[in-house]
Structure 1
Amino acid sequence: MTTTGKIVIVGGGVTGLTTGVALLEAGLPVHLVAAEIPGPTSVAAGAMWGPYLVEPWAKVRRWSLVSLDVFRGLSDAPATGVRMVSGIEAARNAVSAPEWNTLLLGFRECSPGELPTGFEGGYRFTVPLIDMPVYLQYLLRRFREAGGTMQRQFVGSLDEIDDGSVIVNCAGLGAGELAADDSVRPIRGQHVVVKNPGITEFFSEDTGLSPDLVCIYPHGETVVLGGTAIDGEASLQEDRVAARAIVERCAAVEPRLAKAPVVASRVGARPTRSEVRVEADSRSDGAPVLHNYGHGGSGVTLSWGCAQEIVQLVTATG
């Protein structure tokens, strides 16, 4: 697929913005259209690098490594909101190391003295931690500085777009409807933001498939606490009962959080699919469409790798 005309991206979350930046910096003209820019689910993300419950692994591994390399580079600039942070992922029973452990240098098993009370095992590692409101504003600046244009408008059908040589579907939860793909479903997530009582390392609990998550992500003056993963729910309304439970679960691990003032709650709907979809397609009229959606809770982790693949699909010849 080759193009010399404008590329239209549908979707204003981290996937759409990253894809736009990658295409623009490859020398291609881009116009982004979305009802909200940046998208609320991306704003609500934690966000720590880590391929979380997402397939297919062979592609996820490649995409994750690309993003890891980019985030490491961005961590040198405070204005990006990206930092390399050390911490622990632990479990209350014996668990195997996550499949992605081989992607990180220095990944090691915790000694018993490093684990909070009640935890049987865990691993220490250093990964990118991304302050999403800051990072998304950085992406917006980079998008505009590269010459990208954008429009806030709801897109109900890809047929509405009549001025793009290529359409890129990065619409998150709405991408499934745009692609007539009923395999996309929401997993509702909620985080609570509190003032930081002095925490410098992240903590996350391996809770398996439980909807009740435990994660502590320090971002300077604030800490993002998580969370929930309610399969099939798409509401973006704050659940105050769930918010209190999130703080209580996190404070049980880190008691300093018990009295930390609450700054905000953030709610998103993770666009989940059995496998991430990054591939070429077309509309009924033959107009070329590229899909980039279904990242679930790994949108940030996969963002640069999937964007790179979209650039390759656009610029490939033959």
Structure 2
Amino acid sequence: MADVIVVGGGIIGLTAALRLRERGADVTVWTPAGPEQTVSAVAAAVWYPTRTGYDPRLLDWARATYDQFYRHAFERVPGVLIRETRNLERDGSTGEPWWAPAARGVRYLPIDRPWTREVRFRAPLVEMTAYLPWLRQQFVAAGGRVVRRRIDRLEEALVEAPTVVNATGLAAGALCGDPDVIPARGQIVRVANPGIIVSVRDQDEPSTYIHPRSRDVVLGGTWQENSWNTTPDPATRDAILQRCIALVPELAGAPIVGEEAGLRPVRRGGPRVEAEKWPGGTVVHAYGHGGAGMTLCWGCADEVAALAL
């Protein structure tokens, strides 16, 4: 019998599982699919608290996660890069963004209209198709277990462990009766990288982002709440390409190498990370991170481990 069962094998579940194992717990991860089939694998996975408001707890998580990925980059962990980033703002803000204390060397530059300010900083970027398998391997090498299993009720896990971490993303809405959990559809286009090394993010609606990875560039995006459609839309693809090329003309003519649509696990009111007593034991909820799962994962994992043990 495990000490803890983590239900969910995306970035939130795997980071929590590894932190729990590092603290000496006997941990099993239950996941219905491999890491390459999670929504985490579709994500652009760049450090930035997308559509997340200020909360001191989230700032702590963002800082811890930023620092952890910087260490990973220094250690040459597969898939982890650091990119200079340009945020092009349109709302006339003059103060420091709430997330800035978690990042390194944030600078503020003037810019021509229609933008009102350029915010520059260095941000971790993670190629999830390389990083998630590495993370899972680290967990298993540390003595953790991964079991392919789909569940219909969290009580199924409580039968086999006194503590369960609910890192089920969108499925948490049904599993624990949370009506605030909704999908936010995101569509991306991947093109061959013509030599771009700087990320760009435009604050306009819909937001536009350009994130260069080692071999391709992730272009986006969309934010369509309550849409469950995971089929890429050609018109949306064309609009993304048009907006991105307008921002970075070097992208013109870059061949498309892939396109995906995924569902961000949004929770109205923000992420739910708390321990709850159930008849069969303790459930530590860790879901609802929306588009900021990668940005908050390691700090969130530290809190999950503290709550669970």
TM-score by length of 2: 0.93
Match of 2:121 in 1: 125
Match of 1:147 in 2: 143
Q: Is the CA contact (8 Å cut-off) linking 1:236 and 1:268 kept in structure 2?
A: yes
Q: Is the CA contact (8 Å cut-off) linking 1:41 and 1:267 kept in structure 2?
A: no
Report the Cα distance in structure 1 between the residues aligned to 2:50 and 2:271, rounded to whole angstroms. Answer: 12
Report the Cα distance in structure 1 between the residues aligned to 2:146 and 2:92, rounded to whole angstroms. Answer: 49
TM superposition shift of 1:56: 5.8
- The verdict on how the C-alpha distance between 1:56 and 1:124 changes in structure 2, with shifts beyond 3 A counting, is closer
Match of 2:226 in 1: 232
Report the Cα distance in structure 1 between the residues aligned to 2:176 and 2:186, rounded to whole angstroms. Answer: 24
Report the Cα distance in structure 1 between the residues aligned to 2:131 and 2:2, rounded to whole angstroms. Answer: 29
SS at match of 2:34: coil
Consecutive unaligned residues of structure 1, counting only runs of 5 or more, are none
Q: 2:44 aligns with which of 43, 46, 55?
A: 46
Q: Is the CA contact (8 Å cut-off) linking 1:79 and 1:134 kept in structure 2?
A: no
| Structure 2 residue 288 is matched with structure 1 residue 288 | no
- The verdict on how the C-alpha distance between 1:277 and 1:92 changes in structure 2, with shifts beyond 3 A counting, is closer
Report the Cα distance in structure 2 between the residues aligned to 1:241 and 1:150, rounded to whole angstroms. Answer: 39
Match of 1:86 in 2: 84
Q: Is the CA contact (8 Å cut-off) linking 1:187 and 1:231 kept in structure 2?
A: yes
Runs of 4+ with >4 A deviation? none
State how 1:64-143 maps to structure 2 within 5 Å: 64-92=62-90, 94-96=92-94, 97-112=96-111, 118-143=114-139
Report the Cα distance in structure 2 between the residues aligned to 1:234 and 1:293, rounded to whole angstroms. Answer: 18
Q: Give the % identical residues.
A: 35
One-letter amino acid of the structure 2 residue matched with residue 18 of structure 1:
T
Match of 1:276 in 2: 271
TM-score by length of 1: 0.91
Root-mean-square deviation (CA), in Å? Answer: 1.8
Report the Cα distance in structure 1 between the residues aligned to 2:168 and 2:276, rounded to whole angstroms. Answer: 15
Report the Cα distance in structure 1 between the residues aligned to 2:134 and 2:78, rounded to whole angstroms. Answer: 6
TM superposition shift of 1:153: 2.2
Q: 2:216 aligns with which of 203, 222, 234?
A: 222
Deviations 1:177-203 (A, max 9, x none): 111111111101111111001101110
SS at match of 1:99: coil
- The verdict on how the C-alpha distance between 1:286 and 1:153 changes in structure 2, with shifts beyond 3 A counting, is closer
SS at match of 1:106: strand
TM superposition shift of 1:267: 1.9
Report the Cα distance in structure 2 between the residues aligned to 1:40 and 1:247, rounded to whole angstroms. Answer: 25
Deviates more, 1:31-40 or 1:225-234: 31-40
Q: Is the CA contact (8 Å cut-off) linking 1:203 and 1:216 kept in structure 2?
A: yes
Deviations 1:244-291 (A, max 9, x none): 2111110111112121111111221111111211111133x2321110
Report the Cα distance in structure 1 between the residues aligned to 2:193 and 2:49, rounded to whole angstroms. Answer: 26
One-letter amino acid of the structure 2 residue matched with residue 313 of structure 1:
L
One-letter amino acid of the structure 2 residue matched with residue 290 of structure 1:
V
Deviations 1:218-248 (A, max 9, x none): 1111111111110111222222221221111
Report the Cα distance in structure 1 between the residues aligned to 2:125 and 2:55, rounded to whole angstroms. Answer: 22
SS at match of 2:51: coil
State how 1:235-250 maps to structure 2 within 5 Å: 235-250=229-244
SS at match of 2:74: coil
Q: 2:155 aligns with which of 153, 156, 159?
A: 159
Q: Is the CA contact (8 Å cut-off) linking 2:54 and 2:99 kept in structure 1?
A: no
Give the aligned length. 305
Report the Cα distance in structure 2 between the residues aligned to 1:103 and 1:307, rounded to whole angstroms. Answer: 17
Report the Cα distance in structure 2 between the residues aligned to 1:10 and 1:55, rounded to whole angstroms. Answer: 27
